[in-house]
Amino acid sequence: MKSLVGDYRREHLFTLRQSLQAYRHYQTLIAACDQEIEEYLKQFDDKIDVHQYPLGPERHRHKPRKNEFRFDLRTHLYRILGVDLTRVPGLNAITVHTLLAEVGRDLSRFPNAAAFTSWLGLCPQNKKSGGKILSAKTRRTKNRANHALRVAAQALHGSKTHLGVYYRRMRARLGAPKAVTAAAHKLARIVFHLLTTGQSYDESVFAAAEQRRRTRMENRPRHQARQYGFQLIPIAS
C-alpha cells in the first residue's frame, strides 16, 4: 500500500484507469473464447467412458499458467482421444490440444509411424547425388504440431524419466538442436503408437530398452578385453 502512495497527475490516473479497464475487458474475451472452445470439444464423440475408466492423477502438479484454459481440458482430451497423452513426459494438456487441433484423433491416413513423423518434418531429408548423401537435415516447416513437439522435447531437459535421459544423451552427443529434433521424433512415434493402438503409456517399456542398452555397453569392453587376453572385474560397491 505504501508503494502506491505518490504524487499522481491527472493524466497518469486516466491512463491507469484505461489500462485496468482494458485488462478486464480482455480477460472477459478470453473467458468467452475458452467457453466456446469447450463447447466445440463437447461435440466430439466419446472414445472412452470417463466414469467407467476415470482419469488418473496428473503426472506432475504445476502452478497454473497464464495461457491455460479455464476448464478441465485434460479430461476432455482423455475422453476424445481414448488415452491420456499427458502421461507421456514432456506433453501437457495444451500440447495435446495443439496436436488434436492440427492432426485430429484419426491417424489412419498415415500407414505407419515413419509416414507420420515424415509429415511432421521430423525425419532427415536425404539429398542424394550419384548415390552419395549430400545433406540429411530435416526440412523447414511451419507445422504447428512440429513446433508443439519440439517445445515438449525441450521440457525433457530436467526430466528424470527415461525420455529425459535419452534427450540429455542426445544433447551430449549431437548438441542441443539435433537433440530436440531426435526427442521430438521419439515423442511423435509414441503419440502415433498410443493413438492407433489405444494403449496407455508404459514407462517400463523404456526401462527395459534402457537396460538392454546398458547391457550392450557393458558387453563391448568385456569382449574387447577378452580379445587381448584380459578379464574385466566389476568394482565392489
> DSSP code of 69?
-
Position 235 scores a pLDDT of 82
Average pLDDT rounded to a whole number, residues 175-189: 93
Q: Tell me which residue has cell 490440444.
A: 97
Local confidence band at 15 (pLDDT 50, 70, 90 cut-offs): very high
How far is it, in rounded angstroms, from Cα 168 to Cα 179?
Answer: 8
Local confidence band at 14 (pLDDT 50, 70, 90 cut-offs): very high
Position 149 scores a pLDDT of 95
> How many domains are there within the chain?
1
Examine residue 74 and state whether it is found in any structural domain, yes or no. yes
How far is it, in rounded angstroms, from Cα 188 to Cα 168?
Answer: 18
Q: Could you tell me if residue 11 is left (phi over 0), alpha (psi between -120 and 50 degrees) or otherwise beta?
A: alpha
Position 62 scores a pLDDT of 63
How far is it, in rounded angstroms, from Cα 56 to Cα 63?
Answer: 18
Quote the cell numbers at residue 148. Answer: 508443439
Q: Which of 53-62, 181-190, 212-221 has the highest mean pLDDT?
A: 181-190
pTM of the predicted protein model? 0.79
Examine residue 8 and state whether it is found in any structural domain, yes or no. no
How far is it, in rounded angstroms, from Cα 159 to Cα 133?
Answer: 35
Examine residue 140 and state whether it is found in any structural domain, yes or no. yes
Examine residue 233 and state whether it is found in any structural domain, yes or no. no
> DSSP code of 157?
G
Of 138, 139, 119, 136, give the one whose Cα is nearest residue 192: 119
Examine residue 234 and state whether it is found in any structural domain, yes or no. no
Burial class (CB in 10 A: 0-12, 13-18, 19+), 47: middle
Position 208 scores a pLDDT of 77
Examine residue 101 and state whether it is found in any structural domain, yes or no. yes
User: What is the rounded average pLDDT for all residues in the chain?
Assistant: 87
Local confidence band at 237 (pLDDT 50, 70, 90 cut-offs): low
Q: Which residues contact 107 (CB under 8 A, 6 or more apart)?
A: 116, 192, 195, 196
How far is it, in rounded angstroms, from Cα 140 to Cα 223?
Answer: 43
Percent over 90 (pLDDT), the chain:
50
Quote the cell numbers at residue 76. Answer: 476432455
Examine residue 218 and state whether it is found in any structural domain, yes or no. no
pLDDT at 102 over 80: yes
Local confidence band at 130 (pLDDT 50, 70, 90 cut-offs): low
Position 63 scores a pLDDT of 67
Position 54 scores a pLDDT of 85
pLDDT at 109 over 80: yes
Angstrom CA distances, 147 to 140, 185, 228, stand at 11, 11, 50
What pLDDT digit, counting tens, does each position of 25-46 carry? 999 999 999 999 999 999 999 9
What pLDDT digit, counting tens, does each position of 110-124 carry? 999 999 999 998 887
Local confidence band at 205 (pLDDT 50, 70, 90 cut-offs): confident
Residue 122: domain span: 18-203
Examine residue 211 and state whether it is found in any structural domain, yes or no. no
